[in-house]
């Protein structure tokens, strides 16, 4: 069952109880009227949420079983804004002191899915860090751009309406965010230490990626799908597409999905399909972004394609 909510609170305990599947307590530490906001989307083990807290709070409890949680707290205090990555493993006890005006961006995934993809995408050192690291990592100075990108992705995902949410959008959200967190973990490794695939291997990866994407008629293919099926890392795919196809796999797969929507619109009348439904079928849940990407690729709006039938 999928739940999409946007809630406001004047009591810290009520806020804590409203985060689905979390056994936790929030205690208010600084004086003044408490005010907070919680936006969350839950679809099975996949969960994303954004918390905004105006008072100093201590949060403590246990993370959900058989899941892994990645969290980016953004705290503005006397030391300035601190960006870090918190990682919680299955049923892990935690305690976090949130200063006033803290925001928390977080996502939980099925633990076995995280570990299988991490084994393909991370170095042995980063993989060990993922599975054995303490709950709260130290701030990483080189990753502010990745932090911001993930926060933007989370915000866009939480803007999704129930009418536009389906299996395709859930999968694309989940894989996009999980890929971002894996990038964040892997960013501390030196790129120069990674072995790059040979030219024939790169050509083969691009060819097989295209075959997989074109053969998928029922659901959109993501970068993490390709990693699993081809047993390669995101970095290897990225390098192969850039050097062989002069593009990146994200843009390529987006183009495949946009073409699928275009075919659906071109073969349908306005009475048979709505633009929103056709876009959502292929994982485009933010309609304004979809329309912009569609026009950039095809030189016309999706409404023009639909009217031309």
- Of 110, 143, 174, the last residue of a domain is 174
C-alpha span between 142 and 162 (Å, rounded):
36
- Choose one of 117, 142, 174: the last residue of a domain: 174
Specify whether 137 is located in the same domain as 224.
no
Nearest to 105 by CA among 57, 143, 157, 66: 157
Q: Kindly provide the b/e burial profile for residues 258-292, where b requires at least 16 CB atoms within 10 angstroms of the residue's own CB.
A: bebbbebbeebeeeebebbebbbbbbbbbeeebbe
The tens digit of pLDDT for each residue in 45-58 reads 999 999 999 988 88
Alpha-carbon 174 to chain mean position: 5
Is residue 36 domain-resident? yes
CA dist 198 and 214 (Å) reads: 24
Residues 65 and 141 in one domain: yes
Residues 162, 37, single domain; the answer is: yes
For position 200, what pLDDT does the model report? 76
The set of residues, in sequence order, having a beta carbon less than 8 Å from that of 295 and lying 6+ positions away, is 301
> Same structural domain for residues 32 and 93?
yes
187-196 pLDDT tens trace: 755 444 556 7
Shared domain for 223 and 281, answered yes or no, is yes
- Based on the domain organization, do 170 and 30 belong to the same domain? yes
- In terms of domains, do 156 and 257 share one? no
Whether the Cβ atoms of residue 54 and residue 45 lie closer than 8 Å to each other: no
Q: Copy the structure tokens of residue 300.
A: 């016309």
| Spatial contact of 265 and 284, defined as CB atoms under 8 Å apart | no
How far is it, in rounded angstroms, from Cα 200 to Cα 206? 10
CA angle 202, 241, 119 (to 5 degrees): 70
Q: What is the pLDDT of residue 190?
A: 45
DSSP three-state, residue 295: helix
* DSSP assigned state of 209: H
26 and 59 in contact (C-beta within 8 Å)? yes
181 domain residue, yes or no: no
Is 185 inside any structural domain? no
- In this structure, the answer to whether residues 11 and 122 fall within a common structural domain is yes
Is 105 among the domain residues? yes
Q: Are residues 117 and 204 in the same domain?
A: no
pLDDT band for 79, please (50, 70, 90 cuts). very low
pLDDT at 83 over 70: no
Same domain as 128, residue 268: no
Which spans in 19-166 are helix H?
A: 111-121, 124-132, 144-158
C-alpha 64/C-alpha 51 separation (Å) is: 17
Number of domains in the chain: 2
Domain final residue pick, 147, 174, 201 = 174
State whether 17 and 132 are in the same domain: yes
Local confidence band at 272 (pLDDT 50, 70, 90 cut-offs): confident
| 135 and 240 fall within a common domain | no
Give the CATH number of the domain where residue 237 resides: 1.10.10.60
* Residues spanned by the domain of 277: 190-307
User: Is 96:86 a contact under the CB 8 Å cutoff?
Assistant: yes
């Amino acid at each position: 069952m999928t739940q999409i909510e946007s809630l406001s609170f004047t009591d810290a305990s009520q806020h804590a109880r409203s985060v689905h599947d979390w056994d936790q307590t929030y205690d208010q530490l600084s004086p003044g009227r408490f005010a907070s906001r919680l936006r969350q989307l839950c679809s099975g083990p996949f969960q994303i949420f954004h918390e905004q807290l105006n008072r100093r709070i201590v949060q403590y409890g246990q993370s959900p079983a058989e899941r892994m949680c990645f969290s980016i707290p953004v705290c503005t205090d006397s030391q300035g804004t601190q960006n870090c990555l918190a990682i919680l493993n299955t049923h892990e006890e935690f305690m976090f002191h949130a200063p006033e005006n803290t925001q928390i961006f977080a996502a939980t995934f099925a633990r076995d899915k995280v570990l299988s993809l991490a084994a393909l995408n991370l170095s042995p050192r980063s993989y060990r860090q993922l599975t054995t690291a303490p709950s709260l990592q130290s701030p990483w100075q080189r990753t502010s751009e990745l932090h911001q990108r993930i926060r933007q992705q989370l915000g866009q995902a939480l803007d999704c309406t129930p009418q536009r949410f389906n299996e395709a959008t859930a999968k694309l959200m989940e894989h996009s965010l999980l890929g971002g967190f894996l990038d964040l973990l892997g960013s501390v490794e030196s790129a120069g230490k990674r072995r790059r695939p040979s030219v024939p291997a790169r050509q083969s990866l691009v060819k097989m990626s295209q075959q997989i994407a074109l053969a998928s008629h029922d659901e959109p293919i993501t970068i993490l799908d390709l990693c699993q099926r081809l047993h390669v890392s995101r970095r290897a795919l990225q390098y192969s597409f850039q050097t062989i196809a002069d593009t990146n796999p994200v843009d390529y797969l987006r183009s495949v999905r946009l073409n699928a929507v275009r075919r659906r619109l071109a073969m349908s009348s306005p009475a048979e399909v709505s633009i929103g439904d056709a876009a959502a079928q292929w994982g485009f849940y933010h309609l304004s972004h979809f329309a912009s990407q569609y026009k950039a690729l095809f030189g016309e709006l999706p409404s023009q394609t639909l009217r031309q039938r």
